[in-house]
Structure 1
Amino acid sequence: MYSIAASSFFNPKLPKNLPLHNPNRPLFAIVRSSSVAQEIDKSSEERTESLGLKGLEFPAIKGAKRVVLVRHGQSTWNAEGRIQGSSDFSVLTSKGESQAETSRQMLIDDSFDICFSSPLRRSKRTAEIIWGAREEEIITDSDMREIDLYSFQGLLKHEGKAKYGEAFRQWQIDAPNFIIDGHYPVRELWARAKSCWDKILVHESKSVLVVAHNAVNQALVATAIGLGTEYFRILLQSNCGVSVLDFTPQPEGGTPNICLNRLNQTPGSPVAGGSSAGRKTSKRIVLVCHGVSESDLESSMPYTGNGPLNMLGNIQAQKIAELLLDLKVNTVISGTKMASVETADTITKVQEAADCLGADCIPRYVETKQIPDLDVESILTQSKKDASGLQNVSSGWLNRLEDDVTTSLWDQSGKSWKHLLYELSKGSDQDNVVIAVGHPALHIAMMGHCLNLTKEWLGSFHLNAGSISVIDFPDGPSGTGVIRCINYTAHLGRWSIPITRSTQADEEY
């Protein structure tokens, strides 16, 4: 079992021979952020240091590796609202089997070298359905079991509230510090996730499928990109939701570069429904990456957006607009670049015509705005790096830009994020959905601001043209943003990028 301590995180600016654990610090140091409600006993000096820490120490890898995480399908206890934890009494419902089959179809053309699975029946059955006729054996690993919830396991949620009172309340509002039967379940889970990564990364494979559970998949995503236990319930994992992580070797060896390529690509629509992690929400920001423009092939930077949408870009814009019909959008905001404006116009027109089927129908009004603060293309083109290799838009490409460029991008995106939160705050007691259309780099940076990170995390997220990312605000714009999905592309159909497409070809280090 591994222990995760504040000093075990990796800071590229610090000496590499620092000890992994400082016994004078709390074992599980938690960063306080303006968007996280937990009370944390840390000095401001310690908090500043923690915010500069970037990821755990992981085994070196020889070549690029992609890991695809899938949560199991709906289980009988999911349907009953019963607390499962690491118990093994529930099985897939018929809906869960159907969800697993949808995920199988989603991944049918993708190649995997190996499959790891939790040994619990609901997860192993999901793995078997997705793995299908592939010949390789599914490897089960106990460390991939769901979070251990001890005496809570088997209880209906109202029973847990009645029987455990304050402890159940702490589980709901302060999970990292929740203690039961002498255990801190979330802290134990984060340590277990690190152990899982050590085993996955040393395995001789380039493409790995992992089928597990809600909480453990959250922990796997968070630990991979260097986020602590305070991010529990912030990165959603729906039943059969697919998340993708890319690991790229460092030329000098050591911990690889790690990028979250997708989060929670679900079998169903990511914008349907109005709850996040079981909590009702009426306020949402949808980040839309504009479609491909005619000027992109001539630019040294990806997705410049300076020209009008090309044929693929128009298809992407239309597919986005159709996906967003599940929402009643209040405001569509874009920058001033042509690709962003045209994508936003397509969304607006479809929204306004959505309920207008009769001859006498009056179209619904959607407010539209163009805000220069959402333009970051001029910042990106300041880079003097040889960007010829960036046209493939590989995971973590923002890591390759100069520090002054990423600083400008970070500062500009902070202004953009404030604009969006202001728009979301309008009509405080009403449903409010704000669509923001812009460059993938802008949206990556704004998600970083939402999560209260620093610019060092810019290379930890990836977005494609035509993708959407969804952020819910159960407690309103001043509360915690819950990431429902990142880089969702299933709506693009045959024009989407395959999940297991190699990002670095067969390059070896």
Structure 2
Amino acid sequence: MYSVRDRLPTGPAQDEHCCGERFAVRGWCCDDPAAKFGDVDVSERTYLYLLRHGATDANQRRPYVLQGQGTDGPLSQAGRTQARRAAEALAHLPIHTVFASPLKRSRETAAIVAEPHGAQVRVVPEITEVDVGEWEAMSWNAVMERYPEQYRRFMSDPAVFPYAGGESYADVARRVVPALEAILREHDGHVAVVGHNVVNRVFLAHLLGVELRRARTLRQSNCGINVIRRKGDEIELITLNGVLHLESE
């Protein structure tokens, strides 16, 4: 059973995989200055802290370029700083395991987050980033020029229409949702997962009951933190893309 707090549209947002409105979860918004993602009751059964990895050079390029599973670069200096700030923000919590995808940007972030806890880092292949196929490392403007019809179809419904030569959001959901639900079921206490932009959005859309085609409207900042709680069979999203720890960037 999923128990989700009130969903509110909060205005436009843009990034390398995103266009359109954002969502808040009862006041928890990607840029809500009142957000306190670390304000949790540690007596509860399971808390999963779902992060997006720290920034890479590709994330910092302008115009934005797509970075899927075909790009495996390390964190940039800014990305390492973001990861350290996320680690500091979570340091007071009894996190015993940090899960990462096989990609360097996820594994490096996970190692930094795990260090204050002496926690184990475990790689989960199913949470690797979306395969963007032929659009890897391309800007959206370049995609529109070279793949106009495929771009139009993808933007109309990415759950059905894939990145050219890559995955659709439904493809991502088929591997990501079971993997993250298994972590929630099988690991009591406090765990962290370092995922990716589309990976996180697809899972959060699943929790929120948002249509999969609209998952791209759920913004995920580099090293933003989502807090998910499981108590018995109930899974609840507590915080969506908490970023207070990154505000001094």
Letter of the aligned partner of 1:197 in structure 2? L
**Counterpart position of 1:207:** 190
> Is 1:188–2:166 an aligned residue pair?
no
* Cα distance change, pair 79–172 in 1 and its aligned pair in 2 (3 A): farther
TM-score between the two structures when normalised by the length of structure 1:
0.38
**Alignment equivalent of 2:239, drawn from 262, 275, 283:** 262
**Counterpart position of 1:129:** 112
Distance in structure 2 (CA, Å) of the matches to 1:173 and 1:148: 18
Where 1:73 maps in the other structure, the secondary structure is coil
1:288-341 per-residue CA deviation (whole Å, 9 max, x = no partner) reads: xxxxxxxxxxxxxxxxxxxxxxxxxxxxxxxxxxxxxxxxxxxxxxxxxxxxxx
Between 197-206 and 211-220, report the one with greater CA deviation.
197-206
Per the TM alignment, residue 182 of structure 1 is displaced from its structure 2 partner at its CA by 6.2
Letter of the aligned partner of 1:73 in structure 2? G
**Counterpart position of 1:19:** none
Letter of the aligned partner of 2:53 in structure 1? H
Letter of the aligned partner of 1:69 in structure 2? L
Q: What is the aligned residue count?
A: 206
> Is 1:105–2:82 an aligned residue pair?
no
CA contact (8 A) 1:225 1:258 kept: no
Letter of the aligned partner of 1:131 in structure 2? A
**Alignment equivalent of 2:136, drawn from 149, 153, 160:** 153
* Cα distance change, pair 157–67 in 1 and its aligned pair in 2 (3 A): same
* Cα distance change, pair 122–106 in 1 and its aligned pair in 2 (3 A): same
In structure 2, runs of 5+ residues without a counterpart are 4-43
Task: Report 1:49-448 matches (<5 A).
Answer: 64-80=45-61, 81-181=64-164, 184-249=167-232, 256-266=233-243, 267-269=245-247
* Cα distance change, pair 163–247 in 1 and its aligned pair in 2 (3 A): same
1:392-427 per-residue CA deviation (whole Å, 9 max, x = no partner) reads: xxxxxxxxxxxxxxxxxxxxxxxxxxxxxxxxxxxx
Distance in structure 1 (CA, Å) of the matches to 2:192 and 2:162: 32
Letter of the aligned partner of 1:245 in structure 2? I
Where 2:95 maps in the other structure, the secondary structure is coil
TM-score between the two structures when normalised by the length of structure 2:
0.74
Distance in structure 1 (CA, Å) of the matches to 2:69 and 2:93: 30
* Cα distance change, pair 183–130 in 1 and its aligned pair in 2 (3 A): closer
Letter of the aligned partner of 1:136 in structure 2? A
Where 1:247 maps in the other structure, the secondary structure is strand
RMSD: 2.5
Where 2:219 maps in the other structure, the secondary structure is coil
1:98-148 per-residue CA deviation (whole Å, 9 max, x = no partner) reads: 111111111111111211111101111111111114333200111111111
Where 1:233 maps in the other structure, the secondary structure is helix
In structure 1, runs of 5+ residues without a counterpart are 1-9, 13-62, 250-255, 273-509
Where 2:58 maps in the other structure, the secondary structure is helix
Where 1:127 maps in the other structure, the secondary structure is helix
Distance in structure 2 (CA, Å) of the matches to 1:87 and 1:76: 15
Distance in structure 1 (CA, Å) of the matches to 2:169 and 2:102: 20
Letter of the aligned partner of 1:125 in structure 2? E
CA contact (8 A) 1:193 1:223 kept: no
Where 1:192 maps in the other structure, the secondary structure is helix
Per the TM alignment, residue 180 of structure 1 is displaced from its structure 2 partner at its CA by 4.2
Structure number with bigger Rg: 1
CA contact (8 A) 2:97 2:114 kept: no
| Greater relative CO, 1 or 2 (CA 8 Å, sep 6+) | 2
Letter of the aligned partner of 2:57 in structure 1? T
Distance in structure 1 (CA, Å) of the matches to 2:73 and 2:101: 14
CA contact (8 A) 1:177 1:184 kept: no
% identity of equivalent residues: 26
- Greater strand share, 1 or 2? 2
